Chain A
Amino acid sequence: TQLLEQSPQFLSIQEGENLTVYCNSSSVFSSLQWYRQEPGEGPVLLVTVVTGGEVKKLKRLTFQFGDARKDSSLHITAAQPGDTGLYLCAGALRLAGNTPLVFGKGTRLSVIA
Chain B
Amino acid sequence: GAVVSQHPSWVICKSGTSVKIECRSLDFQATTMFWYRQFPKQSLMLMATSNEGSKATYEQGVEKDKFLINHASLTLSTLTVTSAHPEDSSFYICSARDPRYSSYNSPLHFGNGTRLTVT
Contacts and interface: CB of A to CB of B under 8 A. Distances in A.
A48 interface: yes
Interface string B86-107: 0000000101010100111111
Contacts of A99: 104
A50 B105 contact: yes
Given A31-B104, A97-B103, A41 B113 contact: yes
Contacts, number: 72
B7 interface: no
Counting contact residues on chain A (CB < 8 A from B), the size range is 20 to 34
Contacts of B36: 103
Nearest to A89: B43
A44 B110 contact: yes
A96 B102 CA distance: 8
B19 interface: no
Contacts of B46: 100-103
Contacts of B32: 97-98
B115 interface: yes
B112 A97 contact: no
A92 B115 CA distance: 26
A9 to B, nearest CB: 9
B97 A42 contact: no
B92 to A, nearest CB: 10
A90 B31 CA distance: 21
Counting chain B CB atoms within 10 Å of each CB, which of A31, A44, A101 scores highest? A101
Interface of A: 6, 30-31, 33, 40-45, 48, 50, 88, 90, 92, 94-106, 108
Interface of B: 4, 6, 9, 31-32, 34, 36, 41-46, 49, 51, 93, 95, 97, 99, 102-108, 110-113, 115
9 contacts: A42-B112, A43-B108, A48-B107, A97-B32, A97-B106, A98-B97, A100-B34, A101-B46, A106-B42
